[in-house]
Each structure stands twice: as structure tokens, then as C-alpha cells.
Structure 1
Amino acid sequence: MCDLFDTLGPDAPTLLHGWTTRKMAAHLVLRERDPIAAPCLVLPGPPARFAERRTSDMVEHREFGWLVTRLRCGPPLGFFRVPWVRSFPSLNEFFVHHEDVRRANGLGPRADLTPAMQAALWRNVQRGSRYLSRRVRGVGLDIAWQGTGLRHTVRTGQATVELAGSPGELLLYLFGRRSAATVEVSGPAAAVAAIQEGRFGM
């Protein structure tokens, strides 16, 4: 991701409305290095606005190269060095935001993901799918790793929809990047419509 930042520069678009690569880098640095603002990134209302102000301050006062260098160094000692954090929330965060940058700049899905990375993403899809789909009501949901026979029931319902794709594409879909994710959606028409219109993500 840092190599891509270096290639694209600070003003390239991302899939997030209004976010440039500079703001993306600032967001990621703040997440790992600002112990006051970081928890506010996942909270609504005043905490979220506080985190946004801190991010804006970083965008305004820090050079893009400085942000990328800090990001490339990895997190400092503390919470974000905990193995579980690195393998679950941080892997999700960096994978999804890397794709936010790639796909907004005409780069497709990565073809170089190792089997170990695919397996790690599949574990995270299973771990996080119920929470990430929590706003979708009244519909059953299954996810399937296309081409492997691996499936996971997220929630049951009278009508069930299946999302099928590679682990990374499923993760993008569950994080709300529906239009950018290569995922097959199948099931009864009304249930599919509920899924396609539902809100996924954090």
C-alpha cells in the first residue's frame, strides 16, 4: 500500500467520497498512532467529529511523504502490535483501504494474493460477517468462497441470499464496497433486493 501511495502521490482519488490518498494515509496513521483519537474513529456523534478534526489537522500539517514513512514503519509498541489485532481488524482495515485506492485508480483485484492470505481473509470474513451485516433485517445470509465448496451461514431467515466470491471480494462487499466488489448475489428476488439495498459495513 505504501508503494502504491508513493506511485500515485497525495491527490489521487479513493472509493471513499471526498477522500484522497493523502487523507487515507492520515487516517491510517492516526488509527495506529493517536491513542486519543483512534478509538473515536468507530464511534458516532461527537467522538467521530473529533476524530475527523484530528485527521484534517494531520492532512493540513503533515507532508504526504512523512505520513507514508510512518505508515511503512508499522505501529508503535502497544495495542496495534498485538497479534490478534494485526491478523483481524488491522488486516481488514489495510486490505479494504488498499483496494479503495487501487480500484478508484483503475487497478483491478490483485492476482498475487498468496494461499495463506486468502485463508486469512476467509477467516476474517467468517468472523466479521454477522457484525458487518447487522443492519440487514429479515433475510437469511450465506457466504461462499467461490470454487472451493467452503460456505458459512451468517444468519438464518425464511428467504436466504448467498454471496459468492473470493475472500477479498466478499470482505469488500461486507465493508460496504458493493459496487466495487466482484461478488455473485443469488436467492429469491425480494431477498436479493433487500441485500442489495441494505447497509453493510462498520
Structure 2
Amino acid sequence: MSNHALAERHRLAQLLTAAGPDAPTLCEGWTTRDLAAHLVVRERRPDAAAGIRVGALAGWTRRVQDGYAERPYEELVRLFRAGPPVYSPFALPGADEAANTVEYFVHAEDVLRAADDWTPQPVPPGRAEALWRRLPMIARLEAGRRSPVRLALVHPDGRSLTVGPAGSPTVRLTGEPAELVLFTYGRGARTTLTVDGDPDALEALRHVLPLPPK
């Protein structure tokens, strides 16, 4: 059985520790302290975690998260590293791996790539393949619903998937699964993707989903 989520949990905890509580992240408006509080609330406060996705509950989630953010930073990182408590939905067999492999990978990169001198960290082949397997659903739910153009997401080995409005111009994005996943979550400006397409289509896409620097 794979342990990609567990490995990404420990990598993220290490990055948070190394960065300290006041470092920037790619989560708009959040420091590393805010991100650590979010991670703890998400798996230790089911009563508040729903507001992450449900707008009507967002105020309650924000208040709970702000309260956690006032705790010592080292405590937040320790709680996150320790994993979900027994009452958390993420403690159910298989739930952590299914729900958190991508979540923790993206947030680890949010810490890593927020630095001006960032360089990509190698992704183990098995984890890269796990990210690729999850990409079709992520791409449809995240980028596909937002993009004004058709998106062709292309693996370096030639595998590809297409999302977005049919009949519209196509933008082709080629890169490792990790880079494609980050693009779908709006982190494209800090990726190493190769992007090809009609200039007007690229400009329309750039207004909705960031792209790597020209």
C-alpha cells in the first residue's frame, strides 16, 4: 500500500518548520502560520472544516482558524505532523491517502515556491504517477470549469487529457504531473510548464488561470 499522503505530510511539516511562522505562501493572504492553522483545523475540527468548501459556513471556519493561528507555531506543526485524531474522517482506512496526497503536495509547494529563489524538488516516480492518476478529476473540477479555452494537459511521455469548453481554441500545456496539478490549482505562474496556443487564447486563459512567465 502506498504512503504518498504520509510522505507529503512529513515533507510539508519539514518545509513549514524550515520556513518559520511568518514566511509567505502561494495561498493568497496566508503566511505559513495561517497555512499551518488551516491544516490543523481541516483534520481536527470537523465542525469548522466544512466552511472550507461551503460559503455559508466560511465565517465560522475563519474564526476557528484565526483562533488556532494564535497558538504557538511549533504546536501547530507538531499537531499536523502527528496526523489525524481518531475522530477525524481522515483517520478512516484509506481516507488520508485518497484525500490528502494532492492536498499536501500542493501546500508543500505553496511553501517551497513562494520563495524568490525556489527550485523544484524531485518527485518520486510513484508519487508522480499517483498525481497523474488524480489529474483528470482535479482538472475537470478546478481548471476545466474556469477556463475560457480548451486545455490539453500533456505528460512528457505523450499521455494527455483534455478539459474545458468544447469548440473553443486549445491551449496545450506540457510538463510533469506535479507541474500540471499545480497549474490546475491556480499556481501556474510558479511552474516549469511549456505552454503553446494562439496568443488570444493564451491571453484569455491568463486572466483566469496564471501561466508561467513568458
Whether TM-score is above 0.5 comes out as yes
1:2 aligns with 2:23: no
Q: Secondary structure at the match of 1:75?
A: coil
Residue 128 (structure 2) aligned to one of 99, 118, 124: 118
1:73 aligns with 2:104: no
RMSD: 1.8
Shift of 1:17: 3.0
Shift of 1:103: 1.1
Residue 63 (structure 2) aligned to one of 53, 57, 77: 53
- Return 5+ residue gaps in structure 2 as ranges: 1-11
CA displacement, residues 37-73 of structure 1 (integer Å, 9 cap, x when unaligned): 11111122x411221111111111x211111111111
**Which residue is equivalent to 1:63?**
72
Q: 1:183 to 1:114 in 2, by over 3 A?
A: same
Partner Cα distance (1:93, 1:9) in 2: 20
Q: Is the 8 A contact 2:36 2:77 kept in 1?
A: yes
Q: Is the 8 A contact 1:141 1:157 kept in 2?
A: no
**Which residue is equivalent to 2:194?**
184
Shift of 1:27: 0.4
Map 1:16-35 → 2, pairs under 5 A: 16-35=27-46
Shift of 1:83: 5.4
Q: How many residues align?
A: 195
Residue 184 (structure 2) aligned to one of 174, 182, 199: 174
Q: Secondary structure at the match of 1:129?
A: helix
- Return 5+ residue gaps in structure 1 as ranges: none
Give, as a single letter, the amino acid of the residue that structure 2 aligns with 1:117. R
1:101 aligns with 2:111: yes
Partner Cα distance (1:72, 1:140) in 2: 39
Shift of 1:117: 0.3
**Which residue is equivalent to 2:141?**
131
Give, as a single letter, the amino acid of the residue that structure 1 aligns with 2:24. P
Shift of 1:130: 0.7
**Which residue is equivalent to 1:151?**
160
Shift of 1:88: 4.0
120-129 or 180-189, which deviates more: 180-189
Shift of 1:82: 4.1
Partner Cα distance (2:64, 2:187) in 1: 25
48-57 or 3-12, which deviates more: 3-12
Q: Secondary structure at the match of 1:23?
A: helix
Partner Cα distance (2:93, 2:135) in 1: 18
Identity of aligned residues (%): 38
Q: 1:66 to 1:47 in 2, by over 3 A?
A: same
**Which residue is equivalent to 2:100?**
90
Give, as a single letter, the amino acid of the residue that structure 2 aligns with 1:191. A
Residue 49 (structure 2) aligned to one of 21, 25, 38: 38
